[in-house]
Amino acid sequence: MGQVFLARTAAGRQLVVKVIRPEHVSDAGFRTRFAREAAVARTVGGFHTAQVIDADPEADPPWIATAHIPGPSLHRFLADHGALEPAALRVLAAGLAEGLEAIHGADLVHRDLKPGNIILAADGPRIIDFGIARALDTTHQTATGAVLGTLPYMSPEQTEGDHVGPATDVFSLGTVLAFAATGTNPFAATTPAATIRAIIGPVPALDGLPDDVAALITDCWNPDPGRRPTPAQILARCEVADLDGAWPPAGFAPTAQQSAPSAGSEAATAVVDNGSVPPTTRIAPGRTGDGGVAVVSAKRRRRPWAVGGAAILAVAGVAGLATVLPAVWPRADSESPTSRLEPVETWTGHNDRVRSVAFSPDGATLATASGDGTVRLWDVDSGEETDILVHDDVVDAVTFAPDGKTLVTGTPKGARLWSVNSGDEITTLDGDEPANSVAFAPDGKTLAIGTTEGARLWDMDSDEEIATLEDGTAVMEVAFAPDGATLATANQGSVTVGSDDQFARLWDVDTREEVQTIALGKSANSIAFAPDGLTFATGSRSGEHGFQGVAQSWNVNSGTSARVFDHIHPVRSVAFAPDGDTLATGSQDALRMWDVDSETRITAIGRGEPVESVAFAPDGDTLATGGDDGTVRLWDVS
């Protein structure tokens, strides 16, 4: 809904200032609601909330300032360090309950309690954005006018547009605790409708958690708001007096700057993070709020890869004296700053998740395949959609032939070949079996198709099948080595993480013989070779219950794991940059880029948008991603 800046008053006090984007102010009732709820929010006390210092609903644009709390958001901390230990989880629950007690005591309902709105400080958690969620979420309303929050953290009554009271925050608290304990939100699904069905459906099982923690979360999820525990009752059940040393959690960086509110699947806050160069805000005469903070309009300039860039925010004291503060946001887990990229292009048109993206060999065209049954072709320079290839079912995969004249799509009814120039379908291969993945050999003479009955090799001159590898096994991913001599396959295996039937296999393409078997311990969602052909990467689930995710690189000759790149959610897609130095990984919680040799995360990309597919342009300067929301994004990684 706006941009978040780190600011400092003339007296040296650090603040977090949220500046509302103009398009949200066009709603006639926005300023009235904003003024009313900001005024009430300023009355909220309590140790576990961020104090509202000042606000100006009549400014252009409106803004609100809160106390700055050093520390990462819960969302960022879990992404970097994994689930909390039970003792730290109890401290988190107690602190959030105390914060909600203060908020509800001021006759406010948060309405948007989620990991991105919780800051982890050295002495406990803090709730931010309380009391203004309703004003800031005017774009998410039902037909009856009920205000919604972030979908996977909503209560049943929020999803149904019913009356929302304090108990709705308790339901959300249960979901936050489940996420912190397991690394996954049990209600999150691939579509909004499926997420709502999960929220209003049976209470999820919480296997593997301590009995008292599981019982507390389950009680918070009671479908009847009147039967959920109050914050005071939750606090009494946490028994934190016996938990000395449980906080801060392992991995906490006490010198970290506060993370701004996370922009998850439903949020839209633009965060001034380390490395990006956000708007430069200039001092305007005359306008300050009661607390003496002056914020004025800004003009954006884009430099997406700049490291160590700064936002300049003007702040003024009551007497009108102004200072200027470079707002740099270092990562919570590192002394050296990383950069955060913003997309340089955002394309819409698909109405289901974008399952696969692929650049043409010359980099001029991007193909995007979606669950909506279409493949769209885009001119990369102009951003214009040049063609739509309509299918009668979902499209799981797309890739170009090396000559750029043909592309192949993978569907539940086989692989289909298309002319790029005319947009006409040429033929269908393997029409009786789902084509889970497709890959051309570098010379374009052979096509590999991962099917439910093995990996099929097709001769492209004759359109005939020439071999089946891993016969009878569901092959989910296929990839050729850069020299075309080796094919990597990844089977589906058991749904149980850690089972002994989940493998990546390397095959000699000429002899059709298996030359390497690698036990993954988890089903691979994606597989890609490094440009030198000496390693390949897989993206998978991880953790005891498969809630977390991991990308790994593997040595082709030895079959051993070379590097490990952790995510908090299953990794859905992996891609090497053309120079081989960088690996891009996409998951439900994040898009990340890694230095392959050091396993160091180079940059955070975007605002937590779920990423289904990733691909580098041939020159390595652009990264394309396909999202769960049907959006295609391009990122300048030059």
Q: In CATH, what number is assigned to the domain containing residue 115?
A: 1.10.510.10
Residue matched to tokens 């005071």? 232
Examine the pLDDT at 635 and tell me if it is beyond 50: yes
Q: What does the alpha-carbon distance between residue 568 and residue 550 come to, in Å, rounded to a whole number?
A: 8
User: Are 369 and 331 within one domain?
Assistant: no
User: Are 543 and 618 within one domain?
Assistant: yes
pLDDT at res. 23? 57
Question: What is the H or E stretch that residue 465 is in?
Answer: strand 464-469
Pick from 507, 493, 492: nearest CA to 457:
507
pLDDT band at 51 (very low <50, low <70, confident <90, very high): confident
User: Are 228 and 319 within one domain?
Assistant: yes
User: Are 406 and 490 within one domain?
Assistant: yes
- The DSSP annotation for 576-591 comes to E-TTSSEEEEEESS-E
Q: Which of 340, 360, 375 is the last residue of a domain?
A: 340
User: Are 359 and 316 within one domain?
Assistant: no
User: Are 435 and 372 within one domain?
Assistant: yes
Please write the tens of the pLDDT for every residue from 156-200. 988 877 678 899 999 999 999 999 998 888 888 766 777 888 899
Q: Which of 340, 364, 399 is the last residue of a domain?
A: 340
Q: What does the alpha-carbon distance between residue 614 and residue 575 come to, in Å, rounded to a whole number?
A: 6
Please write the tens of the pLDDT for every residue from 511-562. 999 998 888 766 678 899 999 999 999 887 654 434 457 788 888 888 888 7
The tally of domains found in the chain comes to 2
pLDDT at res. 24? 60
> pTM score, two decimals?
0.51
Task: Name 465's bridge partners.
Answer: 458
Phi, psi for residue 605 in degrees, rounded to 5: -125, 130
User: Are 365 and 506 within one domain?
Assistant: yes
pLDDT at res. 577? 93
Q: Is the preceding peptide bond at 248 cis, omega within 30 degrees of 0?
A: yes
Token digits of residue 435: 């084509």
Q: Are 157 and 225 in contact (CB under 8 A)?
A: yes
In the structure, how many helices (H) and strands (E) does the chain have? 10, 40
User: Are 157 and 92 within one domain?
Assistant: yes
Q: Which of 314, 340, 366 is the last residue of a domain?
A: 340
Share of the chain above pLDDT 70, in %: 74
User: Are 318 and 400 within one domain?
Assistant: no
Please write the tens of the pLDDT for every residue from 235-290. 888 876 555 656 777 666 654 444 433 333 333 222 323 232 233 333 222 233 33
User: Are 11 and 148 within one domain?
Assistant: yes
Name the average pLDDT for the chain. 76
Name the residue range of residue 195's domain: 2-340
User: Are 376 and 253 within one domain?
Assistant: no
User: Are 280 and 155 within one domain?
Assistant: yes
Q: Are 263 and 608 in contact (CB under 8 A)?
A: yes
* Active-site amino acid positions: 112
Residues found in the chain = 638
